Amino acid sequence: MTPSHTGLLIRTTGIETRRNENASCAGLRATRMNLDIVPIIVALGIGAFIGYFGRKYQALSQKGSIELELKQSELVAREKRDEIIKDAEREANKIREEKFREIKLLEEKVLKVEERLMKKEEHLDSRQIDLDSQIEATRGKIDEVKAIKARLDERAADIDKEYERVANLTKEDAKAEVIARMEKTAEEDLVVRLQKLQMFGEEKLEEKAREIVTTAIHRVGNTVRADAMTSSVEIPSDDLKGKIIGKEGRNVRAFERASGVDVLIDESPGMIVLSSFDPVRRQIAKTALENLIADGRIQPVRIEEFVEKAKKEIAETMRKMGEKAAYEAGVINLHPDLIKILGRLHYRTSYGQNVLWHSVEMSYIAGMIAEELGVNVAVAKAGALLHDIGKAIDHEVQGSHVEIGRRILMKYGVDEAIIKAMQAHHEEYPYETPESIIVQVADAISGSRPGARRDSVENYIKRLQDLEAIANGFPGIEKSYAIQAGREVRVFVKPEEINDLAAHELAMNIARKIEADLKYPGEIRVNVIRETRTIEYAR
């Protein structure tokens, strides 16, 4: 055995010896701990025993007190139950007694009603017996009267036969002979009397009619404003004339093209003249030119903008004039669109007479006549005011202005009586109402007064309108204007539909159509204008 092995053996033996010592010490400590725990366990057992019996005694004592309380509560509940039962019995007895009394009262009432019904029944039976006896007596009297009437009829027939035998005439012949003798005797007196009444009535009626018409003319016979063919625009300085003309006349050409009027710039100081047969165009041009002069920037683009703006202003003016005319005529509750159409007549003339104020004047006259005759004044005035409303759009719609007016009024739900009153003023429709006759008479009075109308002006305007109508009748036309007092027709075509070659052909066709359809002095120049515009925007 080597020294290393010997040392290892000695260390191992020492370790084992220490382990044994430690084990013996641990056993001693465990024995001591067991001896300490025993008294603790014994004490816990005694405490648990004492606590158990203490709790049991306490529970028994509480149980006895609870049972005592329950018995007392039970006794109280029984007493309350008995009291409630007694009260209920008393209340039930009380209700029963009240119901018995009510039933008794009802029985007494029923008995009384039965007694009354029995008495009434007995009374009705007695009345029925009396009625039956009266009916039988009446029937007997009726039969007796019928027999007497039959005998009287027979007697009357016998008397008539005796008269006819004696006179040798029947009843009808005798009546006719008596009437003939009376007529022959009084014929001369009747004729003279009727003639006197007829003459006297005609004189009175004629005098009354003359008085009514004279009064109406006297009260409404105002002056009539005759629309001229030109309008003047004042300018602050003659230097503006060159600016209005523009370079090589481009401004004045743009203005004439946009407005459709002739611009007459001559040596007259401080004035530019606009010429057109159409008063609406002339007023639009005047408004646009005045606004351009006030603005100071006169160039083709601005000219077109101001002309469009002037068109809107004139449209608003026409609406206001329609409202004013309806107010002055006393015609209310018209549709707003009907008011606008009526206002367009402010710029329409008939033989030089303004149509709108001619209609207002007619409304006054018709109202006076209707009031004198005792007919519907409101219908007469409305029919007179609206009688020429078709003229506002007769250049846009086919048909006579009366027929167009009827369609307009029917569209906006105007009363049928008003339509009947206005539709007969040119005798295209029969006079169906007294108001229709009054409207026709008022139209004749207003138009036939001295100075009210000028035939030559109307014929001149009609010729210019026919010129424009002929030009507009061809396809591809955008707009056309008769200018230079009817010596020139300026036609603007759609460039996408009419090319340059077709424009030449169109001018010849229009000229030939004018030659074939119209009568005019001198010659008429047909000016066809084709203009192409390309517009782009730089953004």
Lowest-confidence pick of 133-147, 219-233, 432-446, 502-516: 219-233
Instruction: Give residue-wise pLDDT tens across range 417-440.
Output: 999 888 888 878 888 898 988 888
pLDDT at residue 3, rounded to an integer: 47
Share of the chain above pLDDT 90, in %: 3
For 426, residues 6+ apart whose C-beta sits below 8 A from its C-beta are: 400, 402
pLDDT at residue 309, rounded to an integer: 92
pLDDT at residue 190, rounded to an integer: 63
Bridging pattern class, strands 349-350 and 353-354: antiparallel
* CA–CA distances in Å: residue 272 to residues 102, 268, 302: 112, 8, 19
For 212, residues 6+ apart whose C-beta sits below 8 A from its C-beta are: 368, 369, 372, 373
Lowest-confidence pick of 42-56, 129-143, 463-477, 494-508: 42-56
Q: Return the H-helix or E-strand segment holding 309.
A: helix 300-329
Instruction: Give residue-wise pLDDT tens across range 442-465.
Output: 888 777 655 555 545 566 677 778
pLDDT at residue 203, rounded to an integer: 64
The full DSSP string for 188-215 is HHHHHHHHHHHHHHHHHHHHHHHHHHHH
Retrieve residue 182's tokens: 């009376």
**C-alpha–C-alpha distance, residues 274 and 248, integer Å:** 20
Q: Which residue has the tokens 């329950």?
A: 70
Phi, then psi, of 333 in degrees rounded to 5? 60, 35
More confident residue, 330 or 206: 330
Mean pLDDT for 172-193 is: 68
pLDDT above 70: residue 187: no
pLDDT at residue 5, rounded to an integer: 47
Instruction: Give residue-wise pLDDT tens across range 349-408.
Output: 776 678 888 888 888 888 888 888 888 989 989 988 888 888 887 666 677 788 888 899
**C-alpha–C-alpha distance, residues 321 and 356, integer Å:** 9
pLDDT above 70: residue 198: no
Q: Return the H-helix or E-strand segment holding 229.
A: none
Mean pLDDT for 232-261 is: 85
Q: What does pLDDT average to over the chain?
A: 79
Q: Which domains does the chain have, with CATH numbers?
A: 230-453 (1.10.3210), 454-539 (3.30.70.1350)
Provide the residue type at 281 as one letter. R
Q: Which of 164-168, 197-201, 204-208, 406-410 has the highest mean pLDDT?
A: 406-410
373 contacts 438 by C-beta, under 8 angstroms:
yes
More confident residue, 166 or 12: 166
pTM check: above 0.85: no
Please tell me what DSSP assigns to residue 392.
Answer: G
Q: Which residue has the tokens 């007829």?
A: 198
> pLDDT confidence of 209, banded at 50, 70, 90?
low
Q: What angle do CA 80, 85, 88 make, to 5 degrees?
A: 125
Instruction: Give residue-wise pLDDT tens across range 32-52.
Output: 555 567 667 777 878 777 877
For 276, residues 6+ apart whose C-beta sits below 8 A from its C-beta are: 229, 260, 261, 262, 282, 285, 481, 483
- Give me the half-sphere count of Cα atoms (radius 13 Å) on the Cβ side of residue 407: 13
Torsion of CA 294, 297, 303, 308, to 10 degrees: -60
Instruction: Give residue-wise pLDDT tens across range 273-292.
Output: 888 877 788 889 999 998 98
